[in-house]
Structure 1
């Protein structure tokens, strides 16, 4: 406990799943936590769940004016940002023949464009030695069917993280990628059209994992905390896989 005492952490997309679990863990470790979300009821519920004086700021990272408003609110704290978990993002299944302009633009607009400007606009507020954590995915290298556009955004994020780690090294700012495998989140279940098919999807994903199960959001959050804390002070430009061995071990 206390790994982030006295620090300020910002989690975008912090109302559910890994983002919410990480925000709760940051708060438990002593950080002042800011979270963002697009929907106010879910954001209010997340703030209450996180506790410890968490602050919710409603907005969409794909809207640059929302990002400006976000950082203006954080700046009022006066302490800068020590941990930025640019977690907001998402995706949907779509095979090559089904991809539309809307699907492409929306997925890249949030996962790549939104993330890039989330980090860029944070630069004036990032403290010396801050940790920036961006969300990758095992899909980036697996070639999973019907996930081509989403996977391409995650490959782009990996590339950006390498460049940013190099560009920000002079300020001691570390940039790393958290790479979850199949994590049991509402977002993953939402990829299926109904509860029954969601269960089938989870069973299939668990069967592909060497450890024989899906991961929990708490397990993913523990890895995010490692990258956020001084425990990873000599780690930058790296990918930390939390995938139960999915992309590491053949079964």
Structure 2
């Protein structure tokens, strides 16, 4: 079913994981999709596989976001769906968290996402949908996740305020909070295999459904929240897709 036929969808961080799966979902439903990322080879490869457009963009660089917005507006006009998905994660106890990791997570996860929202506002269609990717960690107090969790919690609060500010234009803003999900990002946490395996085992013991999520499940939720036929009265919502971990 081509639910998003003739719709323009922009997905930040779309070359892997949840972003990739969501681009695939929207493409399958008829959308014109643009994905972004900062790894050129991986981004181009993903775009070819998916049959979508791409724009090399580092979400932490505001000038590059300006270029992204200008290019999309010139080539495609206004945007129907904006999925602000790009993010980074490093895990370490507060005592050992470096300034570099702190700045990187805040610059990408919060500052970059905030200004992506701001800079896209003028080219969003009235009635558009914005979805932020936050994290199930916002409902937890998991050791070694202080800065990552804080950056995502800040983002989810901005989304609620944006939902109020954009309501006069009938633009809906919602937040999705995935729990443990099998994605490429897990290999970038800066941990060796033994530590990563131990962390996964510990996390799964806290998930009532006793399994990891998959990116495709998150993609379907994002598409649902972006479909005005079925979700036109949903805005300012936070949706946990975490196997019950936040309970």
CA distance in 2, matches of 1:200, 1:20: 27
Q: CA RMSD in A?
A: 1.2
- Residue 233 of structure 1 is matched in structure 2 by 232
CA distance in 2, matches of 1:151, 1:236: 22
Q: Deviations over 1:111-148 (max 9, x none)?
A: 11000110100011100100000011111120100100
1:153 CA displacement = 0.7
Secondary structure (helix, strand or coil) at the match of 1:77 reads helix
- Residue 169 of structure 1 is matched in structure 2 by 167
1:206 CA displacement = 2.2
1:5 CA displacement = 1.1
Decide whether the 8 Å contact of 1:192 with 1:201 is kept in 2.
no
Structure 1 position 63 matched with structure 2 position 57: no
1:196 CA displacement = 3.9
Structure 1 position 204 matched with structure 2 position 206: no
1:50 CA displacement = 1.3
Structure 1 position 75 matched with structure 2 position 73: yes
CA distance in 2, matches of 1:162, 1:79: 26
CA distance in 2, matches of 1:91, 1:191: 6
Decide whether the 8 Å contact of 1:190 with 1:198 is kept in 2.
no
Gaps of 5+ in 2: none
Structure 1 position 9 matched with structure 2 position 18: no
- Map 1:11-90 onto structure 2 (within 5 A): 11-51=11-51, 54-90=52-88
CA distance in 1, matches of 2:206, 2:192: 22
CA distance in 1, matches of 2:118, 2:199: 36
1:208 CA displacement = 1.6
Bigger shift: 69-78 or 140-149?
A: 69-78
1:30 CA displacement = 0.6
1:192 CA displacement = 5.3
Decide whether the 8 Å contact of 2:88 with 2:109 is kept in 1.
yes
- Residue 144 of structure 2 is matched in structure 1 by 146
- Residue 128 of structure 1 is matched in structure 2 by 126
- Residue 190 of structure 1 is matched in structure 2 by 188
Gaps of 5+ in 1: none
